[in-house]
């Protein structure tokens, strides 16, 4: 038997974490009972679609009673999940059934394309949310539901022309900007909102502390409305969906890191928040391991897990907003009738849950005072961040923060390098927006205020009663 006569290969792909992985679909026709077999770890879905694919292929090309087709999907150690591989499988069957019409050259050219699509019994090529995601993240030449509506249409083109039509529908036409979360309107707390907007631009992690009922969580949710600001300054794709992830504080470590289920890796909360916002309410109540591992993730912007003999990396570059009460009862800041009932050692233990190194990684730490204690808005900035003139800012990626950092080091020698860097980014953005120099009194006062607030928090950490 000349194997080449009966063998073919096609490409498809699947998502692994955030990255696309090409999948090779091999098909071999042999003599035997008319049937289709799939190997190479197909998931239940794909195994169930055997009959459908066989019926569809038999409809378009003659599948006689002695044609047995074996399909193998590579790479072999990864479960092939999802309905989107069906199109490539059906095409591979059609090609081996009609092998005489395909020269080596034409088969080679087909490898420039990546076929994805879910098939209906009627032969229509359908889309799924996963296919949408692949379209938006792929730089491969994809052929799927956006180009063809039915298997027959695609097969006709392939048979006659030898290659598929790939009129790329632009991203813009395909999907309008997607809002996955409705920001809540927020009034008052001008200074805090301005600080959040500055942090949105620099993506500095934010820690909001305060008694319950002062609007910490609401403020964190309001931050979603700062996304357009962030995108504009950072020149990010305006059509990409922005994840807003707010897990509850009893989530397990594996939910955050992702898990290995059989041969399939599932990404966790940290990676799901990639390129978006991660809100961690009641931060001090979170699992200790999550809090500590967060340090590494904030530094490397990646989640690593070790599975099946290799290290997997998933991107996790998010803007973190954490909120926390100052003590278990939440009332250690005296505010009228609610008095703190926690013993001193409990407050001490509670505040120690946010370790020094972790505390250091928050670029902005704000203690929300009672609403009736008005705090001045940031000098020189329009009250509403939406009114800020973003044209004054250079594209964020191109700014060199080192000179600014060195300038700040002279004035705030007590800060760590990491803290200095975070402050330098904030100072740079503030000074650009207000047109004050870096070492002007105004900019230095802005940073001094932030540093003093932090130092007060640090010094009083065991006891907020006198705050």
Note the residues at the interface with Zn ion (CB under 5 A). 327, 329, 332, 340, 342
Question: Which residue number, 95 or 327, has a Cβ lying nearer to Zn ion?
Answer: 327
Question: Which residue number, 50 or 465, has a Cβ lying nearer to Zn ion?
Answer: 465
**Taking the complex as a whole, how short is the minimal distance between the CB of residue 325 and Zn ion, in angstroms?**
8
**Taking the complex as a whole, how short is the minimal distance between the CB of residue 217 and Zn ion, in angstroms?**
18
Question: Which residue number, 130 or 329, has a Cβ lying nearer to Zn ion?
Answer: 329
Residue reference for tokens 């809002």 = 179
Question: Which residue number, 345 or 398, has a Cβ lying nearer to Zn ion?
Answer: 345
**Taking the complex as a whole, how short is the minimal distance between the CB of residue 292 and Zn ion, in angstroms?**
24
**Taking the complex as a whole, how short is the minimal distance between the CB of residue 327 and Zn ion, in angstroms?**
3
**Taking the complex as a whole, how short is the minimal distance between the CB of residue 339 and Zn ion, in angstroms?**
8
Question: Which residue number, 88 or 340, has a Cβ lying nearer to Zn ion?
Answer: 340
Residue reference for tokens 């250091």 = 360
**Taking the complex as a whole, how short is the minimal distance between the CB of residue 244 and Zn ion, in angstroms?**
30
Question: Which residue number, 208 or 321, has a Cβ lying nearer to Zn ion?
Answer: 208
Question: Which residue number, 242 or 340, has a Cβ lying nearer to Zn ion?
Answer: 340
Question: Which residue number, 335 or 407, has a Cβ lying nearer to Zn ion?
Answer: 335
Question: Which residue number, 188 or 343, has a Cβ lying nearer to Zn ion?
Answer: 343
Question: Which residue number, 23 or 335, has a Cβ lying nearer to Zn ion?
Answer: 335
Alpha-carbon gap, residue 441 to 449, rounded angstroms = 12
**Taking the complex as a whole, how short is the minimal distance between the CB of residue 348 and Zn ion, in angstroms?**
12
**Taking the complex as a whole, how short is the minimal distance between the CB of residue 351 and Zn ion, in angstroms?**
11
**Taking the complex as a whole, how short is the minimal distance between the CB of residue 356 and Zn ion, in angstroms?**
22
Question: Which residue number, 229 or 342, has a Cβ lying nearer to Zn ion?
Answer: 342
The set of residues, in sequence order, having a beta carbon less than 8 Å from that of 300 and lying 6+ positions away, is: none
Alpha-carbon gap, residue 134 to 128, rounded angstroms = 10
**Taking the complex as a whole, how short is the minimal distance between the CB of residue 210 and Zn ion, in angstroms?**
13
Alpha-carbon gap, residue 4 to 26, rounded angstroms = 12
Cα dist from 178 to 175, 220, 232, 243, 315, whole Å:
8, 20, 16, 10, 21
Q: 196 with 386: CB under 8 angstroms?
A: no
CA dihedral 233, 236, 238, 241 (to 10 degrees): -120
Question: Which residue number, 199 or 327, has a Cβ lying nearer to Zn ion?
Answer: 327
Q: 36 with 72: CB under 8 angstroms?
A: no
**Taking the complex as a whole, how short is the minimal distance between the CB of residue 338 and Zn ion, in angstroms?**
9
**Taking the complex as a whole, how short is the minimal distance between the CB of residue 346 and Zn ion, in angstroms?**
7
């Amino acid at each position: 038997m000349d194997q080449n006569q009966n063998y073919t290969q096609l490409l498809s792909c699947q998502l692994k974490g955030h990255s696309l992985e090409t999948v090779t679909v091999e098909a071999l026709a042999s003599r035997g009972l008319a049937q289709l077999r799939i190997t190479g770890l197909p998931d239940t879905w794909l195994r169930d679609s055997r009959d459908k694919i066989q019926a569809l292929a038999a409809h378009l090309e003659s599948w006689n009673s002695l044609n047995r087709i074996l399909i193998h999907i590579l790479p072999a150690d990864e479960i092939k999940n999802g309905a989107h591989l069906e199109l490539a499988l059906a095409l591979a069957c059609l090609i081996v059934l009609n092998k005489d019409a395909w020269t080596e050259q034409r088969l080679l050219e087909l490898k420039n394309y990546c076929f994805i699509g879910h098939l209906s019994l009627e032969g229509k090529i359908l889309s799924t949310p996963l296919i949408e995601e692949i379209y938006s993240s792929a730089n491969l030449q994809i052929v799927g539901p956006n180009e063809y509506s039915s298997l027959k249409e695609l097969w006709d083109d392939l048979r006659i022309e030898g290659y598929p039509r790939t009129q790329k529908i632009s991203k813009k036409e395909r999907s309008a900007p997607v809002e996955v979360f409705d920001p809540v309107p927020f009034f008052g707390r001008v200074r805090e909102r301005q600080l959040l907007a500055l942090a949105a631009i620099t993506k500095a992690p934010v820690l909001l502390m305060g008694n319950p009922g002062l609007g910490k969580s609401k403020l964190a949710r309001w931050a979603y409305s700062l996304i357009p600001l962030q995108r504009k300054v950072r020149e990010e794709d305006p059509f990409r969906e922005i994840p807003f992830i707010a897990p509850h504080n009893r989530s397990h470590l594996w939910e955050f890191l992702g898990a290995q289920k059989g041969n399939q890796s599932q990404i966790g909360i940290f990676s799901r928040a990639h390129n978006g916002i991660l809100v961690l309410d009641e931060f001090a109540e979170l699992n200790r391991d999550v809090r500590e591992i967060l340090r590494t993730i904030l530094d490397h912007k990646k989640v690593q897990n070790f599975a099946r003999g290799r290290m997997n990396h998933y991107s996790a570059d998010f803007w973190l907003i954490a909120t926390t009460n100052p003590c278990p009862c939440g009332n250690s800041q005296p505010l009228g009738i609610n008095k703190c009932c926690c013993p001193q050692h409990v407050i001490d233990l509670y505040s120690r849950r946010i370790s020094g190194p972790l505390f250091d990684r928050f670029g902005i730490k704000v203690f929300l005072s009672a609403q009736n204690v008005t705090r001045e808005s940031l000098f020189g900035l329009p009250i509403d961040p939406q009114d800020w003139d973003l044209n004054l800012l250079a594209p964020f990626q191109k700014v060199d923060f080192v000179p600014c950092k060195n300038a700040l080091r002279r004035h705030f020698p007590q800060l760590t390098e990491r803290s200095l860097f975070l402050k330098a980014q904030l100072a740079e953005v503030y000074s650009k927006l207000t047109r004050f120099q870096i070492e002007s009194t105004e900019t230095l006062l802005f940073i001094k205020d932030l540093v003093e607030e932090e130092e007060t928090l640090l010094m009083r950490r065991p006891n907020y009663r006198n705050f």
